[in-house]
Amino acid sequence: MDLGTDDPVLVLNSGSSSIKYQLLHPRTSEVVAAGIVERIGEPEGGIEHRTGGQRIEQREPIADHSAGLRLVFEMFARTGRDLTRAGLRAVGHRVVHGGEVFYRPTLIDDEVLATIDELSVLAPLHNPANVAGIRSARALLPGVPQVAVFDTAFFHGLPAAAKTYAIDAKVAAAHGIRRYGFHGTSHEYVSGQVAQFLGREPAQLNQIVFHLGNGASASAIRGGRPIDTSMGLTPLEGLVMGTRSGDLDPGIVPHLMRSAGLDIDAVDALLNRDSGLKGLSGVNDFRALQELIDAGDPAARLAYDVYIHRLRHYLGAYLIDLGGVDVLTFTAGVGENSPAVRADALAGLQRFGIAVDPVRNVAKDRVARRISPDDAPVAVLVVPTNEELAIARAALALVIQD
């Protein structure tokens, strides 16, 4: 992509208790500095700031997102960079839910911000934090264009049959109930990288992408456009995740409320924070899970088996949805780093043209690579995701076109 300028962009990913940030040059992909503010609003917060081989950690309570962002500015100042004079061309914000309204990178003004805030009803765990991050950034960098890049955007045009839940259509319409999909920035970026890696046009490819991080999602992409994805109205649906259940019988919700006496917030917390790998094994981090499995822990083993079982369900569904697949790709923390997951997810599928080369699979390269044998009909790839770079590029492309 020729963006025409090498001006830096600040990317902010504001979560409920954290702010991840990067200052980077979208044209060259050079990262100038990156870091994370953690445990905002808790008694013991902190920041970790990395730049040019230097790593600074500081522990202190951080009252809110505004205080968190001020601390980020302080870190930049301490390492010789005044962010207010850094020639920032834009601030790119990751925004989780764009609802039906936003499906392109969008320049943020008061009205856009108010709408993102209203969409909190669809993403109560995410959009309020995104709004807090945007408000703070606008206050600290008043002259710099602020751009929202939505996690749902890539999936906006899902086919009707894939995005529609089979519930009362009037109720669904009144409450914005449809499948929106998330991790869109990653699925779009990675599927583009896949086409480049294979030297093919996106239009020629049927792809399945597995984004397996703390959150996890799958997508089926035909000719560069998604035709299905595993996350739905919220990022709770689909694959088994670190702390989220993924798919379950919706009847479990009223059953828990009636039988276990849980109120709706307790059910929400159970399914979002205390389920998935953590609910089954006690740990949400995949490396910790693997250690427990190696130590012979049966609950961890079961959690892993459920995780793989669900992955294979989506693989099977998307193979059929697409009518055959050219390339399967693994990305994000688990997808990029766990040979076991990749091998187990694709085991015994030779009759579908899917195979993993055991030597290629365990290579530790940090770049896009093929892990299937050269002569396998389906290419299996590992492609590092880079949501920050994708957000920075989208933000810059928008502001230079204006």
Residues within the annotated binding site for substrate? 94
State the CB neighbour count (10 A cutoff) for residue 359: 9
Q: Counting contacts by CB under 6 A, is residue 243 touching ligand ADP?
A: no
Question: Alpha-carbon distance 330 to 291, whole Å?
Answer: 22
Question: Alpha-carbon distance 25 to 7, whole Å?
Answer: 6
Q: Counting contacts by CB under 6 A, is residue 214 touching ligand ADP?
A: yes
Q: Output the smallest distance, CB 217 to ligand ADP, in A.
A: 10
Which of these ranges, 82-90, 134-142, 279-287, 291-299, lies near ligand ADP under the rule CB under 6 A? 279-287
Q: Output the smallest distance, CB 131 to ligand ADP, in A.
A: 20
Give one DSSP letter per residue of 97-124, joined into a string: --TTT--S-EE--HHHHHHHHHGGGT-T
Which of these ranges, 22-30, 121-129, 334-342, 352-360, lies near ligand ADP under the rule CB under 6 A? 334-342
Which of these ranges, 82-90, 145-153, 197-205, 211-219, lies near ligand ADP under the rule CB under 6 A? 211-219
Q: Counting contacts by CB under 6 A, is residue 66 touching ligand ADP?
A: no
Q: Counting contacts by CB under 6 A, is residue 285 touching ligand ADP?
A: yes
Q: Counting contacts by CB under 6 A, is residue 332 touching ligand ADP?
A: yes
Q: 191, 329, 338, 386: which one contacts ligand ADP (CB under 6 A)?
A: 338
Token pair for residue 256? 């828990």
Token pair for residue 276? 């998935």
Which of these ranges, 127-135, 156-164, 332-340, 392-400, lies near ligand ADP under the rule CB under 6 A? 332-340
Active-site residues, by number, are 151
Q: 26, 181, 242, 279: which one contacts ligand ADP (CB under 6 A)?
A: 242
- Between β-strands 90-95 and 9-14, what pairing exists: parallel, antiparallel or unpaired? parallel
Q: Output the smallest distance, CB 24 to ligand ADP, in A.
A: 17
Binding mask 129-148 for ligand ADP (x = CB under 6 A): --------------------
Q: 192, 333, 353, 384: which one contacts ligand ADP (CB under 6 A)?
A: 333
Query: Whose CA is closest to 325, among 218, 253, 186, 235?
Result: 218
**Whether 327 contacts 376, CB under 8 Å:** no
Q: Counting contacts by CB under 6 A, is residue 337 touching ligand ADP?
A: yes
Please, is 101 exposed, middle or buried when counting C-beta atoms within 10 Å of its C-beta (0-12, 13-18, 19+)?
A: middle
Pick between residue 75 and residue 332 the one whose CB is nearest to ligand ADP. Answer: 332
- Between β-strands 54-59 and 46-51, what pairing exists: parallel, antiparallel or unpaired? antiparallel
Pick between residue 228 and residue 388 the one whose CB is nearest to ligand ADP. Answer: 388
DSSP 153: G
* CA distances from residue 47 to 88, 122, 302, 334, 335 in whole angstroms, order as listed: 22, 30, 36, 24, 27
Q: Output the smallest distance, CB 271 to ligand ADP, in A.
A: 17
Token pair for residue 303? 């959690």
- Between β-strands 216-222 and 206-212, what pairing exists: parallel, antiparallel or unpaired? antiparallel
Q: Counting contacts by CB under 6 A, is residue 105 touching ligand ADP?
A: no
Pick between residue 37 and residue 198 the one whose CB is nearest to ligand ADP. Answer: 37
Residues of the binding site for Mg(2+):
13, 387
Question: Alpha-carbon distance 154 to 217, whole Å?
Answer: 13
Q: 215, 226, 276, 279: which one contacts ligand ADP (CB under 6 A)?
A: 215
Q: Kindly determine how many residues on this chain lie close enough to bind ligand ADP according to the rule CB under 6 A.
A: 12
Pick between residue 146 and residue 186 the one whose CB is nearest to ligand ADP. Answer: 186
Residues of the binding site for ATP:
20, 211-215, 285-287, 333-337
| Dihedral (CA of 246, 252, 254, 260) sign | negative
Residues of the binding site:
13, 20, 94, 211-215, 285-287, 333-337, 387
State the CB neighbour count (10 A cutoff) for residue 40: 25
In the bound state, the residue with its beta carbon closest to ligand ADP is 333
Residue type, 305: D
Which of these ranges, 4-12, 202-210, 285-293, 318-326, lies near ligand ADP under the rule CB under 6 A? 285-293
Query: Whose CA is closest to 1, among 22, 25, 23?
Result: 25
Question: Alpha-carbon distance 40 to 60, whole Å?
Answer: 10
Question: Alpha-carbon distance 171 to 177, whole Å?
Answer: 8
- Please give, one letter per residue, the 3-state secondary structure of 168-187: CHHHHHHCCCCCCCCCHHHH
Residue ranges that bind ligand ADP, judged by CB under 6 A: 213-215, 242, 285-287, 332-334, 337-338
